[in-house]
Structure 1
Amino acid sequence: MSTTEVVGTDEGTTDRWDPIREMPPSAKLVAKVLDYNETLTQSQLAEETLLPPRTVRYALSRLEEADAVNSRFSFSDARKRLYTLNL
């Protein structure tokens, strides 16, 4: 008979999601959607998450403060910014 050992999390290890763990649910959702999709615009994020554009803007600003997302201008439309996850 074999026994299964349960391995706990070490306090010394860091998870890639640690920078956003204490953020609002909207920021976590935006981060997760960016995790599944490499690069999205703000309007695409609003579409994918079903969140209002204002909420997506707030979530992105919180994620940018934590250096969890990168943003750059779109080459096809300079009025838009493209967001990628940085975790």
Structure 2
Amino acid sequence: MSATETADALESLPPSAKLVAKVLEYNDTLSQRELAEKTLLPDRTVRYALTRLEDHDIVSSRFSFTDARKRLYTLT
């Protein structure tokens, strides 16, 4: 996805999703817990934002190698 397409997709998303995307822009890969700590958003709000970002192919996720219960998120 190009930068213009990403910006267009982000424009229609809620502010929480924009904040999560911005934090991921500055921090390469983070878990949901780390995102909640850095954004000061509730876990539920971060989970919703990540779902919306994944639906628009702005964020991708993978399982953590050190803890398979955790998912790590990064911008695509």
TM-score (norm 1): 0.81
Correspondence for 1:24: 14
Counterpart in the other structure of 1:9: none
Which residue is 1:75 aligned to?
65
Larger relative CO (CA 8 A, sep 6+): 1 or 2? 2
Q: Which runs of 5+ in 2 are unaligned?
A: none
CA-based RMSD of the aligned residues comes to: 1.0
State how many pairs are aligned: 73
1:26-65 aligned at under 5 Å gives the runs 26-65=16-55
Structure with greater helix share of residues: 2
Q: Cα distance, 1:17 vs. partner? A: 1.7
Q: Verify: 1:84 aligned to 2:74, yes or no.
A: yes
2:10, 2:25 → 1: CA distance?
13
> Matched residues in 2 for 1:61 and 1:52: separation?
14
Q: CA deviation at 1:68?
A: 0.5
AA in 2 matched with 1:72: R
Q: Which runs of 4+ in 1 moved over 2 A?
A: none
Q: CA deviation at 1:60?
A: 0.2
